[in-house]
């Protein structure tokens, strides 16, 4: 039996409405994608549903707002010379080099220092003189190398920003983890562990800082109430703008 697709609109929010014979209560949930969902017992009057949903509307809007800030890291792009990739909000062109990625290549100018991710990053990709340089033999696995590089840079950059803001605000996270997150840029547990998506280092430093401050503020306030936002505002007075940026412009930073 195919469930009947029904919708419920409250103010400007359209919910997918699912009727269930087994339910006794009205349930509201926010899936990772698509419309927010209302599960309702069969026979429940729409006026009752609307009232229940209206009471939760602020929560629904907040959850939808958070969801819009999802990392967009899925697109597969060709890793060919000339393609650009972001790092801390700036784009750098990819150059394929002839060397094998083992280092010590003779045609590399002597004494060159770089913002390389090579130490411990597990990739031969480097950022050198404003370019990503990848040995051409590794181009087929370009994304893998780029991600390994970003991960390492994220650990360094985010680690430093956490230390900076932790000292500034007098909070100490129990643990800081950089990883791939499915639906968020950052998170904080009730045990004081904060996590960040490595993809944050694609975005401008001011945005990374906002996410770091946001998660650190959760060490004091685990909700998104007025007291939480006041804590964020003390450190990031223009957090509204950075948050709006994260919801909109962050999408352009796909790799
Ligand atoms: Zn939060």
Region 3-29: what's the mean pLDDT? 86
Is the pTM higher than 0.85? The answer reads: no
Structural domain total, the chain: 3
Concatenated DSSP letters of 101-119: SSS--TTSPTT-------T
CA of 59 to the centre of ligand 1 (A): 13
Are residues 192 and 112 located together in one domain of the fold?
Answer: no
CA of 157 to the centre of ligand 1 (A): 20
The verdict on residue 128 lying in a domain is: yes
Q: Could you tell me which of 243, 115, 219, 224 has the C-alpha nearest to residue 166?
A: 219
Residue range(s) defining the domain that contains residue 219: 150-253
17: pLDDT confidence band, cut at 50, 70 and 90?
very high
Are residues 156 and 234 located together in one domain of the fold?
Answer: yes
Three-state SS at 72: coil
CA of 4 to the centre of ligand 1 (A): 35
Are residues 120 and 157 located together in one domain of the fold?
Answer: no
Are residues 15 and 91 located together in one domain of the fold?
Answer: no
Are residues 179 and 248 located together in one domain of the fold?
Answer: yes
Place of tokens 């991600």: 147
Are residues 241 and 160 located together in one domain of the fold?
Answer: yes
Give the tens place of pLDDT for each residue, 143-192: 889 999 999 999 999 999 999 999 999 999 999 999 988 778 999 998 99
CA of 190 to the centre of ligand 1 (A): 12
122: pLDDT confidence band, cut at 50, 70 and 90?
confident
Residue after which a domain boundary falls, among 119, 145, 171 = 145
The verdict on residue 72 lying in a domain is: no
Are residues 247 and 155 located together in one domain of the fold?
Answer: yes
Give the tens place of pLDDT for each residue, 188-214: 998 999 999 999 999 999 999 999 999
The verdict on residue 241 lying in a domain is: yes
CA of 98 to the centre of ligand 1 (A): 45
Concatenated DSSP letters of 121-182: TS---EEETTEEEEEGGGGGGHHHHHHHHHHHHHHHHHHHHHHHHHHHHT---SEEEEE--S
* Residue-level pLDDT at 30: 87
Give the lowest-confidence range in 27-41, 73-87, 144-158. 73-87
Are residues 18 and 61 located together in one domain of the fold?
Answer: yes
């Amino acid at each position: 039996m195919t469930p009947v697709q029904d919708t419920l609109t409250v103010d400007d929010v359209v919910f997918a409405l699912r009727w269930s014979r087994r339910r006794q209560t009205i349930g509201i949930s926010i899936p990772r994608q698509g419309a927010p969902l209302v599960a309702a017992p069969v026979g429940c009057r729409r006026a009752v549903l609307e009232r229940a949903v209206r009471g939760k509307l602020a929560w629904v809007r907040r959850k939808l707002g958070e969801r819009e800030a999802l990392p967009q890291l899925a697109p597969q792009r060709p890793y060919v010379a000339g393609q650009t990739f972001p790092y801390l909000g700036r784009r750098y062109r990819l150059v394929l080099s002839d060397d094998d990625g083992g280092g010590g290549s003779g045609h590399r100018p002597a004494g060159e220092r770089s913002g390389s991710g090579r130490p411990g990053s597990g990739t031969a990709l480097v950022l050198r003189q404003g370019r990503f340089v990848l040995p051409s033999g590794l181009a087929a696995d370009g994304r893998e190398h780029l991600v390994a590089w970003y991960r390492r840079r994220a650990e360094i950059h985010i680690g430093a920003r956490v230390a900076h803001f932790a000292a500034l605000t007098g909070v100490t996270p129990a643990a800081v983890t950089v990883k791939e997150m499915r639906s968020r840029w950052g998170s904080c547990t009730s045990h004081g562990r904060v996590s960040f998506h490595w993809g944050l280092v694609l975005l401008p430093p001011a945005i990374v800082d906002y996410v770091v401050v946001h998660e650190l503020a959760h060490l004091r306030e685990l909700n998104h109430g007025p007291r939480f936002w006041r804590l964020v505002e003390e450190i990031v007075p223009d957090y509204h703008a950075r948050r709006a940026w994260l919801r909109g412009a962050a999408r352009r930073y796909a790799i």
